[in-house]
Structure 1
Amino acid sequence: MPLNSVNTNVGAMVALQSLNKTADELTATQKRISTGFRVADAKDDGAAYAVAERVRGEIAATASANEQLGGVKGLLDVTNASLTNVGETLKKLKTIVVKLADQTITADQQSQYQAQAKELTNNIKAFIEDAGYNGKNILDESVSTLANTVVRNGAGVTYSFNGYSALTNVFNGVSAANSWTAGSAAAALTTGGAITTAISNTLTQLNNFGSYANFIDSQITYNKAKMDAQEGGLGALVDADLAKESAKLQSLQICQQAGHPGTVDRQPGAADPAEPVPLTSKAHRVAKPARRGEPSPAGRMPADAFTPAVVAAPASQVIPAAER
Structure 2
Amino acid sequence: MIQNSINTNSGAMVALQNMNKTNSELSQVQNRVSTGLRVATAQDDGASFAIAQGLRSDIKGIGAVNEQISKAKGLVSTTLSSLTSVSDGLGDIRETLTKMADENNSPEQFAQYKADYDSMVEELQNFVDNAEYNGTNLIDAGGADVNVIVDAAGTQYTLAATDIDAELAGVTDPTDAATAQGLIDGTDTTFDDLVTSVSNSLNEYAADDRRLTGQMEFNSKLSDAIEEGLGATVDADLAKESARLQSLQIKQQLGTQTLSIANQSPQSLLSLFGG
- TM-score, normalised to structure 1, is 0.76
- Contact 1:139–1:167 (CA<8 Å) still a contact in 2? yes
Instruction: Confirm whether residue 157 of structure 1 aligns to residue 152 of structure 2.
Output: no
Tell me what 2:2 maps to: 3
User: Out of 246, 252, 256, which is 2:252 matched to?
Assistant: 256
- Contact 2:12–2:259 (CA<8 Å) still a contact in 1? no
> 2: CA distance between counterparts of 1:201 and 1:157?
28
Instruction: Confirm whether residue 78 of structure 1 aligns to residue 78 of structure 2.
Output: yes
User: Out of 190, 193, 204, which is 2:185 matched to?
Assistant: 190
Instruction: Confirm whether residue 167 of structure 1 aligns to residue 162 of structure 2.
Output: no
1:262 Cα deviation from its structure 2 partner = 8.2
Q: Give the letter for the 1:187 counterpart.
A: G
Partner-residue secondary structure (3-state), 2:2: coil
Instruction: Confirm whether residue 92 of structure 1 aligns to residue 92 of structure 2.
Output: yes
1:190 Cα deviation from its structure 2 partner = 2.4
Instruction: Confirm whether residue 41 of structure 1 aligns to residue 38 of structure 2.
Output: no
1:4 Cα deviation from its structure 2 partner = 2.4
Higher helix share: 2
Tell me what 1:176 maps to: 173
Task: Identify the range of structure 1 (66-75 vs 190-199) with the bigger mean alpha-carbon deviation.
Answer: 190-199
> 2: CA distance between counterparts of 1:224 and 1:90?
39
Partner-residue secondary structure (3-state), 1:102: coil
Question: In the TM superposition, what are the counterparts of 1:1-324 in structure 2 within 5 Å?
Answer: 2-6=1-5, 7-143=7-143, 146-169=144-167, 171-174=168-171, 176-177=173-174, 180-191=175-186, 193-261=189-257
1:241 Cα deviation from its structure 2 partner = 1.5
1:193 Cα deviation from its structure 2 partner = 2.0
> Following TM superposition, where does structure 1 have runs of at least 4 consecutive aligned residues deviating by more than 6 angstroms?
none
Partner-residue secondary structure (3-state), 2:170: helix
Partner-residue secondary structure (3-state), 1:259: helix
The 1:63/1:175 distance shift into structure 2, 3 A limit, reads farther
> 2: CA distance between counterparts of 1:132 and 1:263?
77
- CA offset digits 1:196-218 (Å, max 9, x no partner): 22111100111111111111111
1:220 Cα deviation from its structure 2 partner = 1.1
- CA offset digits 1:128-162 (Å, max 9, x no partner): 1111101111112223xx32211112222211121
Q: Give the letter for the 1:149 counterpart.
A: N
Tell which structure's C-alpha radius of gyration is larger: 1
Q: Pick 1 or 2: higher relative contact order, CA cutoff 8 A, min separation 6.
A: 2
- Contact 1:15–1:259 (CA<8 Å) still a contact in 2? yes
Tell me what 2:265 maps to: none
> 1: CA distance between counterparts of 2:170 and 2:66?
38
> 2: CA distance between counterparts of 1:219 and 1:239?
29
- Contact 1:39–1:45 (CA<8 Å) still a contact in 2? yes
1:263 Cα deviation from its structure 2 partner = 9.7
Name stretches of at least 5 consecutive residues in structure 1 with no aligned partner: 265-324
Name stretches of at least 5 consecutive residues in structure 2 with no aligned partner: 261-275
- Contact 1:82–1:131 (CA<8 Å) still a contact in 2? yes
Task: Identify the range of structure 1 (146-155 vs 124-133) with the bigger mean alpha-carbon deviation.
Answer: 146-155
1:108 Cα deviation from its structure 2 partner = 1.9
1:19 Cα deviation from its structure 2 partner = 1.0
Q: How many residues align?
A: 258
- CA offset digits 1:233-283 (Å, max 9, x no partner): 11111111222212211111111011112899xxxxxxxxxxxxxxxxxxx
Partner-residue secondary structure (3-state), 1:189: helix
- Contact 1:19–1:256 (CA<8 Å) still a contact in 2? yes
Q: Give the letter for the 2:150 counterpart.
A: R
> 1: CA distance between counterparts of 2:153 and 2:172?
46
1:56 Cα deviation from its structure 2 partner = 0.2
Partner-residue secondary structure (3-state), 2:132: coil
How well do the aligned residues superpose, as a CA RMSD in angstroms? 1.8
Q: Give the letter for the 1:102 counterpart.
A: D
Partner-residue secondary structure (3-state), 2:142: coil
- CA offset digits 1:50-80 (Å, max 9, x no partner): 1100000010011011111111110111011
Q: Give the letter for the 1:4 counterpart.
A: Q
> 2: CA distance between counterparts of 1:209 and 1:77?
8
- Contact 1:121–1:174 (CA<8 Å) still a contact in 2? no
- Contact 1:121–1:175 (CA<8 Å) still a contact in 2? no
- Contact 2:147–2:158 (CA<8 Å) still a contact in 1? yes
Percent identity between matched residues is: 37
